[in-house]
Amino acid sequence: MAADFETLRVRQDGAVMLVDIAAPPINLLGIQLVRYLVSLMQRAESDEACHVIVFASADPDYFIPHVDVTRISEYREQAARLTGEPSMAILFRRLSESRLVTIAQVEGRVRGAGSKFVLACDLRFAALESAIFSQPESGFGLIPGAGGIQHLTRLLGRARALDVMLDADDYAADLAERYVCTNRALPVGTHVECILMLAHRIAAFPAAGRAVLKARINAIALAPTDDFARDSDLFLECARDPEAQKRIQTAMTRGFQTHEGELALGHLISSV
């Protein structure tokens, strides 16, 4: 099955699908990763024996750092294959509405639209020692356009949402837990087993009640499609701003979108 999705290594473990994101060099949300993510969602949702998906990363340093800023229109076209809308925000909102329960097992760096993918999952657990979070968009004059404003503002409240989005710097798993960006931070060593047990426990319960429950929770906590779409459009507008373009270009010359260069992205941004 792995062959079908190239950038996603897939194993089926009973009713639980285990997915390792493997899009070297840094799991960038580019054309390939978005294409196979769409295919995977279609495949998993059509398999009635599949109830839960666990997303992990094959790269210990990066879960998903952010979108490929050099291919914005192309990866958005891939997203449109599932939703009809060239928008990562709408694609991720669709993931939140899935009948499947999605769990993010976060190790390494999760930033920008990668962070929004994680926020769109139903449950998310961070490896205490290794998970790193950030919304770097402000540093370039961009905004989190893939749903981050919608999720983070509701979860963190106005001041903490402003904090993490204006600061554009990395923060660790313990702060992410205190700020409700993640369900819980779990110590490496036990976290994989904890998540797997939870996934199988949930998958064993009746699907009908689960679907009703998720729909009711989404009715309260999932922002309207229009708000996701508006953020998505504003991201594009901001990205066309010459000042933003200049900052992105400068960042590219300093290692942006490379494995080495993004290890300390908060520092790179402040030097642009």
CA angle 40, 43, 45 (to 5 degrees): 105
Q: Please pick, from the candidates 117, 140, 228, 256, the single residue that binds its own copies as defined by CB under 8 A.
A: 140
Q: Is 267 exposed, middle or buried (0-12, 13-18, 19+ CB in 10 A)?
A: exposed
Q: Does 127 bind its own copies (CB under 8 A)?
A: no
Residue 60, preceding peptide bond in cis (omega within 30° of 0) = no
212 binds its own copies (CB under 8 A): yes
Minimum gap (Å) between residue 249 Cβ and its own copies: 14
Candidates 66, 76, 111, 124: give the one binding its own copies (CB under 8 A). 124
Sign of the alpha-carbon torsion through 233, 151, 19, 98: negative
Output the CA torsion sign for 118, 119, 122, 128.
positive
Say which amino acid occupies 124.
Answer: R
- Interaction mask 42-61, its own copies, x per CB under 8 A: --------------------
**What is the C-alpha separation between 47 and 163, in angstroms, rounded?**
41
How many positions of this chain bind its own copies (CB under 8 A)? 66
Can residue 232 be called a binding residue for its own copies (CB under 8 A)? no
Looking at 34, 82, 131, 168, which residue binds its own copies (CB under 8 A)? Answer: 168
Beta bridge partners of 12: 17
Binding site for its own copies (CB under 8 A): 96, 101, 119, 121-124, 137-144, 149-151, 153-155, 157-163, 165-169, 180, 182-183, 198, 201-202, 204-206, 208-210, 212-214, 216-218, 220-223, 227, 230-231, 234, 237-238, 241, 243-244, 247, 270
